[in-house]
């Protein structure tokens, strides 16, 4: 959530950034500033009212001591009037603060200056590609057929147990999943990330803290009886560890990694592009989260990009990196890099990771700050990335490594899986 003072002091920059996002209701910026003006006016009146009430209350005691009962009674009447007026002003203040917050919840983050204007994924910039993919995988068959051929994943069994989008991994398919998770976690820990094992459900405050609510409420599974949400990514519980926390500047950066199941309703997703592992309601993912000093957050973002790049290099998969345009970025992000791997059989790019800097957008909601020296507490910058999401990695591994003998497992992962061929 953007701070209203930031909107006020950087209005031209904000409007330019929202235009990059192709965000239409820019009138919300003026509405937020106007609501804040009303809030300030009511707050001033309330403070003055309370000050007068306190002053008269002190005078009542002196008047009573001096035996001036009539004057004291008159003062009591004034105090009652001030009290009633204060209650009215407090109610008005609560209403305008709620209205201001609701307006601010609707305004997305302002893109970083390197982010280009754009409307959709077609406008994203390719900043790196590992290899030419032309001619790769000629005659390759898709991963859902490979999964059936080698008894790795049973999609129909998942439908029986839960419904579409909940596959059951079997035998070497399950072992390969486990190997990938362990490899990703070890790789992250070796890079200085502390592993945490968070809850897989969060409360409403946590959803608002990282921006899933109210923006993505329809995509989250809600446990109504307990008013809890199944997490769409470990980013949500891990980042919320630092909600309402003031960190010491010397403790920055904070680097965490976590494995979790992820749950997404994916409402409205139909067609061939969601077949097999391309889009699921439940999947496994390893996440990296960083809490950074504002001066270092973009250097940290590039470091995270290089880290994910190293993982995909180890997996021996053709991949590319895109810097998302304004119109394709998430609501909370200031800048995002997407990683895509090449699907040999489907002959298309599959997104497997997003690495984002949210600047102070999440931190403002979370009230996560840092304090150094004698200075006042300031908002941190938060970042997160997938390292990695498993379904499409699994799909690409199966499709890109199929041979006449079977499916070859890249060396780094074979060490964890304890097999180098699926046949």
My answer on whether 71 and 191 are in the same domain is no
Task: Pull the structure tokens for residue 58.
Answer: 């002190």
Does residue 136 surpass a pLDDT of 80? no
My answer on whether 355 and 237 are in the same domain is yes
Task: Pull the structure tokens for residue 176.
Answer: 């390969």
My answer on whether 89 and 133 are in the same domain is no
H helix or E strand, kind and range, residue 168: strand 168-169
Q: Is residue 114 part of a domain?
A: no
CA-based diameter of the chain, in Å?
A: 107
Domain end call among 105, 129, 154: 105
Q: Is residue 415 part of a domain?
A: yes
Before 260, cis peptide (omega within 30)?
no
| Residue 353 labeled ligand binder | yes
Contacts of 165 (CB under 8 A, 6+ apart): 158, 266, 274, 279, 280, 281, 282
| Residue 243 labeled ligand binder | no
My answer on whether 395 and 260 are in the same domain is yes
Helix (H/G/I), strand (E/B), else coil: 368: coil
Mean pLDDT of 131-151: 91
Does residue 271 surpass a pLDDT of 60? no
| Residue 287 labeled ligand binder | yes
Q: Is residue 115 part of a domain?
A: no
Does residue 95 surpass a pLDDT of 90? yes
Predicted confidence band at 267 (pLDDT cuts at 50, 70, 90)?
Answer: low
| Residue 384 labeled ligand binder | yes
| Residue 201 labeled ligand binder | no
Domain end call among 78, 105, 132: 105
Does residue 400 surpass a pLDDT of 60? yes
DSSP 264: -
Weakest-pLDDT range from 27-31, 50-54, 73-77, 284-288:
73-77
Residue-wise pLDDT for 288-345, tens only, equals 999 999 999 999 999 999 999 999 999 999 999 999 999 999 999 999 999 999 999 9
Mean pLDDT of 153-165: 97
Residue-wise pLDDT for 333-387, tens only, equals 999 999 999 999 999 999 999 999 999 999 999 999 999 877 899 999 999 999 9
Domain end call among 105, 131, 151: 105
Percent of the chain residues past pLDDT 70, beyond the cut: 98
My answer on whether 206 and 243 are in the same domain is yes
Does residue 38 surpass a pLDDT of 60? yes
Does residue 215 surpass a pLDDT of 90? no
Q: Determine the Cα–Cα distance for residues 233 and 199; give it in Å rounded to an integer.
A: 11
Average pLDDT over the chain, rounded to whole?
A: 94
Mean pLDDT of 68-92: 86
The CATH number assigned to the domain holding 94 equals 1.10.287.40
My answer on whether 82 and 193 are in the same domain is no
pLDDT of residue 333: 98
Mean pLDDT of 171-188: 98
Q: Is residue 305 part of a domain?
A: yes
Residue-wise pLDDT for 223-246, tens only, equals 999 999 999 999 999 999 999 999
Q: Is residue 116 part of a domain?
A: no
Predicted confidence band at 162 (pLDDT cuts at 50, 70, 90)?
Answer: very high
Q: Is residue 386 part of a domain?
A: yes
My answer on whether 144 and 266 are in the same domain is yes
The CATH number assigned to the domain holding 132 equals 3.30.930.10
- 168: exposed, middle or buried (C-beta count within 10 Å: 0-12, 13-18, 19+)? middle
Cβ-based neighbour number of residue 355 at 10 Å: 26
Contacts of 97 (CB under 8 A, 6+ apart): 39
My answer on whether 180 and 44 are in the same domain is no
Q: Determine the Cα–Cα distance for residues 34 and 217; give it in Å rounded to an integer.
A: 28
Residue 326 lies in domain: 121-422
| Residue 357 labeled ligand binder | no
My answer on whether 59 and 202 are in the same domain is no
Does residue 393 surpass a pLDDT of 80? yes
pLDDT of residue 266: 84
pTM of this structure: 0.92
pLDDT of residue 29: 98
My answer on whether 244 and 289 are in the same domain is yes
Does residue 106 surpass a pLDDT of 80? yes
CA distances from 62 to 55, 57, 72 (A): 11, 9, 9
pLDDT of residue 229: 97
| Residue 290 labeled ligand binder | no
Weakest-pLDDT range from 46-55, 57-66, 183-192, 367-376:
57-66
Does residue 188 surpass a pLDDT of 70? yes
Q: Is residue 82 part of a domain?
A: yes
Q: Is residue 375 part of a domain?
A: yes
pLDDT of residue 60: 81
My answer on whether 99 and 130 are in the same domain is no
Distance of CA 136 to the CA centre of its chain: 34
My answer on whether 95 and 167 are in the same domain is no
Specify the number of domains making up the chain. Answer: 2
Contacts of 392 (CB under 8 A, 6+ apart): 277, 278, 341, 343, 350, 351, 352
| Residue 302 labeled ligand binder | no
């Amino acid at each position: 959530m953007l701070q209203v003072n930031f909107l006020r002091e950087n209005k031209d920059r904000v409007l330019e950034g929202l235009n990059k996002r192709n965000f239409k209701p820019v009138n919300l910026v003026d509405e937020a500033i106007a609501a804040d003006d009303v809030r300030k006016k009511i707050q001033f009146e309330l403070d003055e009212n309370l000050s007068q009430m306190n002053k008269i209350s002190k005078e009542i005691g002196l008047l009573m001591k001096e035996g001036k009962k009539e004057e004291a009674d008159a003062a009591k009447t004034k105090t009652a009037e001030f009290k009633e007026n204060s209650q009215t002003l407090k109610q008005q203040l609560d209403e305008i603060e709620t209205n201001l917050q609701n307006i601010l919840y609707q305004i997305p983050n302002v893109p970083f200056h390197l982010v280009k204007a754009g409307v959709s994924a077609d406008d994203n910039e390719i900043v790196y590609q590992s290899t030419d993919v032309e001619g790769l995988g000629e005659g390759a068959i898709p991963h859902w057929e490979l999964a059936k051929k080698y008894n790795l994943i049973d999609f129909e069994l998942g439908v029986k147990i839960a419904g579409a989008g909940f596959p059951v991994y079997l035998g070497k398919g399950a072992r390969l999943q486990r190997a990938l998770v362990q490899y990703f976690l070890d790789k992250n820990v070796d890079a200085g990330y502390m592993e945490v094992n968070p809850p897989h459900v969060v409360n409403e405050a946590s959803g608002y803290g990282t921006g899933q609510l109210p923006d993505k409420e329809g995509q989250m599974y809600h446990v109504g009886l307990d008013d809890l949400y199944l997490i769409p990514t470990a980013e949500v519980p891990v980042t919320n560890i630092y909600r309402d926390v003031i960190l010491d500047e010397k403790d920055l950066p904070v680097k965490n990694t976590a494995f979790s199941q992820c749950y997404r309703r994916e409402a409205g997703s139909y067609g061939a592009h969601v077949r097999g592992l391309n889009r699921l309601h439940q999947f496994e993912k390893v996440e990296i989260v960083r809490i950074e000093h504002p001066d270092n957050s973009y250097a940290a973002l590039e470091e995270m990009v290089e880290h994910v790049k190293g993982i995909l290099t180890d997996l021996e998969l053709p991949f590319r990196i895109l810097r998302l345009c304004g119109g394709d970025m998430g609501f909370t992000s200031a800048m995002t890099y997407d990683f895509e791997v090449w699907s040999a059989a489907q002959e298309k790019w599959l997104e497997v990771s997003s690495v984002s800097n949210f600047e102070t957008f999440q931190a403002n909601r979370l009230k996560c700050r840092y304090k150094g020296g004698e200075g006042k507490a300031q908002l941190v910058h938060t970042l997160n990335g997938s390292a990695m999401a498993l379904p499409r990695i699994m799909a690409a591994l199966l499709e890109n490594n199929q041979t006449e003998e079977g499916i070859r497992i890249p060396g780094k992962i074979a060490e964890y899986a304890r097999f180098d061929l699926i046949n």
